[in-house]
Amino acid sequence: DSGVTQTPKHLITATGQRVTLRCSPRSGDLSVYWYQQSLDQGLQFLIQYYNGEERAKGNILERFSAQQFPDLHSELNLSSLELGDSALYFCASSVGFEFSYGYTFGSGTRLTVV
Amino acid sequence: QQQVKQSPQSLIVQKGGISIINCAYENTAFDYFPWYQQFPGKGPALLIAIRPDVSEKKEGRFTISFNKSAKQFSLHIMDSQPGDSATYFCAASKIETSGSRLTFGEGTQLTVNP
């Protein structure tokens, strides 16, 4: 157990629907990162939050949004889902920068859009 | 400027052999180069990392070689074992105290035959 908890583990939904992925960071970690892993795009950075504030944004679609709550857990909202959104979505967390420990990844949420 | 190129895409090695995975980056602002190991159904886990002020770092059977002038770095796995069979990702980032995004390579699927 990495200490980063992602729920749900699996999600199957239809095109056009909206889903919410949840991430609880490792205890004490202030930064939360979201990554998308697909076969053709590899691991792509989506967005980072640090202590409740958006810190960096990658190639995140406008249909996707995220937030980090006061208790530091984060949610990734995906709307108007398309078949191409099917992927593994990983959350990672860190205190800030940690050379020795890097970013701790959760086990991911596998999203299947049908 | 943000890309990290990784090769080979797949690698098959006999038990006891040396596995070598190479990465090249473009952005000279990168100053942190980790390698992640990912097993099926799991999130990536930090294996070893290096800063550009050193040319080599060794941890057990894993060694990173870093060539700053060529903007290349590589992972060597000595005495490869079947348990090392996994997908390996190189990554790079610019260190920030609050943490920062990782730009990942495309991944290398390593198979170590017994």
H/E segment holding residue A111: strand A109-113
List the single residue in B with minimal CA-CA distance to A46: B101
When the pLDDT of each residue in chain A is averaged and rounded to a whole number, the result is 93
Instruction: Average the pLDDT over B78-96 and give the result.
Output: 94
List the single best residue of B98, B103, B108 to mutate versus A (max A Cβ within 10 A). B98
Residue A101: its pLDDT value, please? Answer: 67
**For residue range B21-55, what is the model confidence (pLDDT) as tens digits?**
999 999 999 999 999 999 998 999 999 999 999 99
Q: How many CB pairs under 8 A join A and B?
A: 71
Instruction: Average the pLDDT over B65-87 and give the result.
Output: 97
Distance CA A19, CA B60 (A): 43
Q: Is the dihedral of CA B38, B44, B47, B53 positive or negative?
A: positive
Residues of A in contact with B103 (CB under 8 A): 45
**For residue range A10-63, what is the model confidence (pLDDT) as tens digits?**
999 999 999 999 999 999 899 999 999 997 778 999 999 999 999 999 989 999
CA dihedral A11, B42, A84, B102 (to 10 degrees): 130
